[in-house]
Amino acid sequence: MDPISFIPMLATMALIDSADPCFFILYTGILISYVAGSMRKLVEISVVFILTVFTGYWVFGFLLRSVFSRASVSPIYIFIIMIIYGVSMIIYGFHDLIKERNNREDGICREDMIECNLSRRIGLQKLLETGGLIYIALTGFIASFTLLPCSAGMYIIYNMLTSDTPFPIWAFYTFLYTAIFVSPLVLITLIYIGIMKTRIHEKLIRHQAPLRILGGLMAVAIAVYVYLYR
């Protein structure tokens, strides 16, 4: 793909993917646990978690690319899968919008939201309670592989599209994608250490339904592009 046209599309996909409430809820829980301590400890915890999430997500992308490249998925199957995925995300997004309008509860995290409980259900919260940098790093790495259902799933589409890209180019693209994916975690860190005032993670969670719809529409548009030009 032409880098001039693909990189903006990559950035948009990564931004949609980065609105992952599971990571936000898990990470803010970590920061709240350490915010009363020293600033140095808080920064250490933040750097370790974000770097391991970055590394884990890049490795996860490599595994996805390996699967798709070996499977040699034809464009027509990519088209069908992405159409089904896109339509599903649009329906899911509108379903969430209707639920939000009918639900009068305040707050960004409700008991009926899967993302509010997923990290606890798969045992990441227990791992965090053990404490220490090693467990923080392990939690970040495991979360990279297990919390994908909370995101818009654009990473799967991205790796389907780039499965036949030469590895050095793919590695660079994926570095950019993953950097954008973890950028909200960096902003959350700046909020908790007092450099920034806006609570961007809450805004992203509150607008997750429109982001899902946007991700679905983008998946449909990419599917049409793949069918016509690939």
CB atoms within 10 A of CB 5: 10
Note the Cα 74 to chain centre separation in Å.
Answer: 26
pLDDT of residue 120: 56
The reported pLDDT for the residue numbered 77 is 74
Q: What is the pTM for the complete model shown?
A: 0.75
Cα gap 163→201, rounded to integer Å: 31
Contact 53, 143 (CB under 8 A): yes
**SS3 (DSSP) at 174:** helix
What the block records as the tokens of 193 is 């250490």
- Residue 54: its pLDDT value, please? 94
Quote the Cα angle for 134-139-142, to 5°: 125
Which domain, by its residues, includes 76? 3-229
Dihedral of CA 99/102/106/111: which sign? negative
Q: Number of helices (H) and strands (E), helices first, in the chain?
A: 11, 0
pLDDT at 80: 81
Given this model, what pLDDT does residue 111 score?
47
The answer to whether 128 and 135 are in contact (CB under 8 A) is yes
* Average pLDDT per block of 10 residues along the chain, 230 residues long: 81 82 75 73 87 93 89 73 80 77 55 51 58 80 74 78 90 95 87 62 61 75 73
What's the confidence (pLDDT) of residue 207?
62
In this predicted structure, what is the pLDDT of residue 131? 62
Domains in the chain, number: 1
Q: Which phi-psi region, left, alpha or beta, contains residue 131 (left: φ > 0; alpha: ψ -120 to 50)?
A: left
